[in-house]
Amino acid sequence: MFENKKVNMAISIVVAALIWAYVIGSINPPAESRFRNIPVTLTNAEVLENEGLAVSKVSAEYIDLVLSGSRSDISQLRSDEIRAVVDLSNALEGENEFTIDIHVPEGISIEQKSVSKLVVKVEKIETRTVGVEIVYSGETSDDSEPKTTDVSQEEVEIRGARSLVKKVESARGTVDITKVSENETSESITLVPVDDSGAQVENVKINPASVTVTSVLTHDKTVRLNVNVEDTSENASSKKWTAPDEIVIAGSVGALKNIESIETEVIDISDVTADSEIEIVPVLPEGVYLSDKNSSLVLEVTVEGDTEETFTIADSDIKLTGVADQVVYHFSEGTFNVTVLGSRDELDALTKDDVLLVADVSGIRKGESAEVTLAVSIRGSELSASVSPETVTVKAE
């Protein structure tokens, strides 16, 4: 009896398998499947452009779908056979709401959509010019770097919705560093509009869409930098400047071999009247380039304004003129503060002995008092100076 049960079980399994094969192979029951990230295609955008309009934003760029059909059809269905389309023919400036039309092969039905409506924002078209920026992808050795020696076009025209065009900082072209050698090579590079963070700005067209970039792989060398500064102004002594004393240059091994220093173009600071930063322009031999490894090449000019120094002078140190015989003169003040204006260097060179106070006491008779104005001067200099108090009572005895 036990053996009969085993035989019956085996027969049941075989029958079930045959029934399943029949269902799958002959009846082909319906099935469902989810398809993710189907791109939403916008059509007839040229109609908008003819009206001076362009798309600036869409509420969704992709859609997820649940589709049904026979098991065999669903299992063979590819994502590229599914199209999600929005027709922009009737779009107007502002926000527009459209139904997303889904196109699938015959025999396939749409059960679910992750998005039913698409909101499309339309703005006026704007055109402007931006600079071309060339960057390199990949790595090189520490003592070498790629250099761009020529770009077929330094500026290009961008066109698109006004808010998007305003975001664009430059048109960026990326060169694969593995294609750059020590001999100049040129190739066509596609441009991408990017914002100030380097992120691509979508839906903005560039004309021309590509440029020809000539590049060369260079080696680096650090050499002395001789900065040539000229100042013919009268207040040259009040100006101080600082600049890098080294520069990193790039070129072939042969081009760099005998270079120990680099001169700069003359920087005239005669008309500089306030603290300033001035670009340093190195004079580079043919085949030698400025390395990107230079942190900053600027001349920093500091203009020192007049500062002041105060000296205390005793009345006994005042020089008297117009003195009468056998008369002693007494001042109502015992000390006087003399303030001298000048540059820091000029003031540091002064001593108290260089400060002269003079009082003219002529006309003051014995037993009389009078107000006298003090005169101040700086020995051997035309520096400006003042004294406090400026007038003093002098009594003759």
Let me know whether 46 and 85 are in one domain. Answer: yes
Determine what percent of the chain is predicted with pLDDT higher than 70.
94
> Would you say residue 16 lies in a domain?
no
Compute φ and ψ for 182, nearest 5 degrees.
Answer: -75, -10
Residue 349's pLDDT band, with cuts at 50, 70 and 90, is confident
Q: Are residues 395 and 377 in contact, defined by beta-carbon separation less than 8 angstroms?
A: no
Residue 217's pLDDT band, with cuts at 50, 70 and 90, is very high
Let me know whether 102 and 45 are in one domain. Answer: yes
Let me know whether 202 and 229 are in one domain. Answer: no
Distance CA(349)–CA(342), nearest Å, equals 11
Residue 107's pLDDT band, with cuts at 50, 70 and 90, is very high
pLDDT in tens, 269-313: 999 888 899 999 999 999 899 998 898 899 999 887 777 889 999
Residue 5's pLDDT band, with cuts at 50, 70 and 90, is low
> Would you say residue 59 lies in a domain?
yes
Q: What is the CATH number of the domain that holds 84?
A: 2.170.120.30
Question: Strand, helix or coil at 73?
Answer: helix
Let me know whether 243 and 287 are in one domain. Answer: yes
Which residues fall within 8 angstroms of residue 349, CB to CB, at 6 or more apart?
none
Kindly state the DSSP code that residue 76 receives in the 8-state scheme.
H
Among the candidates 115, 150, 176, a domain finishes at 115
> Would you say residue 46 lies in a domain?
yes
Let me know whether 57 and 110 are in one domain. Answer: yes
What residues make up the domain containing 354?
A: 307-396
Closest CA to 309 of 369, 355, 258: 355
Q: What is the mean pLDDT of residues 332-351?
A: 87
Residue 383: per-residue pLDDT: 84
| pTM, 2 dp | 0.59
Let me know whether 348 and 282 are in one domain. Answer: no
Let me know whether 105 and 140 are in one domain. Answer: no
Among the candidates 87, 115, 143, a domain finishes at 115
Residue 21: per-residue pLDDT: 59
Residue 3: per-residue pLDDT: 58
> Would you say residue 272 lies in a domain?
yes
Residue 116: per-residue pLDDT: 87
> Is 17's pLDDT higher than 80?
no
Structure tokens at 353: 């002995």
Q: What is the mean pLDDT of residues 248-259?
A: 92
Kindly state the DSSP code that residue 285 receives in the 8-state scheme.
P
Tokens 């997820």 correspond to what residue? 64
Instruction: Give the residue, 82 or 142, on which the prediction is more confident.
Output: 82
How many structural domains does the chain have?
4
> Would you say residue 268 lies in a domain?
yes
Residue 62: per-residue pLDDT: 96
Structure tokens at 385: 């100076």
Kindly state the DSSP code that residue 26 receives in the 8-state scheme.
I
Q: Are residues 58 and 85 in contact, defined by beta-carbon separation less than 8 angstroms?
A: no
Among the candidates 193, 216, 239, a domain finishes at 216
Distance CA(99)–CA(85), nearest Å, equals 9
Residue 236's pLDDT band, with cuts at 50, 70 and 90, is confident
Which residues fall within 8 angstroms of residue 242, CB to CB, at 6 or more apart?
299, 300, 302
Q: What is the CATH number of the domain that holds 196?
A: 2.170.120.40
Let me know whether 287 and 332 are in one domain. Answer: no
Kindly state the DSSP code that residue 344 receives in the 8-state scheme.
H
Q: Angle at CA 226, nearest 5°, toward 225 and 227?
A: 110
- CB-based burial label for 239 (10 Å; 0-12, 13-18, 19+): buried
Strand-by-strand arrangement of the 62-70 sheet: 101-103, 83-87, 30-43, 62-70, 109-113
Kindly state the DSSP code that residue 138 receives in the 8-state scheme.
S
Q: What is the mean pLDDT of residues 319-331?
A: 91
> Is 24's pLDDT higher than 60?
no
> Would you say residue 208 lies in a domain?
yes
Structure tokens at 55: 């798309």
Let me know whether 297 and 365 are in one domain. Answer: no
Residue 359: per-residue pLDDT: 92
Closest CA to 60 of 118, 121, 101: 118
Let me know whether 208 and 237 are in one domain. Answer: no
Residue 19's pLDDT band, with cuts at 50, 70 and 90, is low
Q: What is the mean pLDDT of residues 170-183?
A: 94
Q: Angle at CA 158, nearest 5°, toward 155 and 161?
A: 160
Q: How far is CA 12 from CA 6, 9, 22, 23, 154, in A?
A: 10, 5, 15, 16, 79
Let me know whether 283 and 230 are in one domain. Answer: yes
> Would you say residue 19 lies in a domain?
no
Least confident of 85-99, 138-152, 253-267: 138-152
pLDDT in tens, 183-216: 889 999 999 999 999 999 999 999 999 999 999 9
> Is 332's pLDDT higher than 60?
yes
> Would you say residue 85 lies in a domain?
yes
Residue 342: per-residue pLDDT: 80
Let me know whether 103 and 144 are in one domain. Answer: no
pLDDT in tens, 108-160: 999 999 998 999 999 999 999 999 999 999 988 777 889 999 999 999 999 99
- What is the maximal distance between C-alpha atoms in the chain? 161
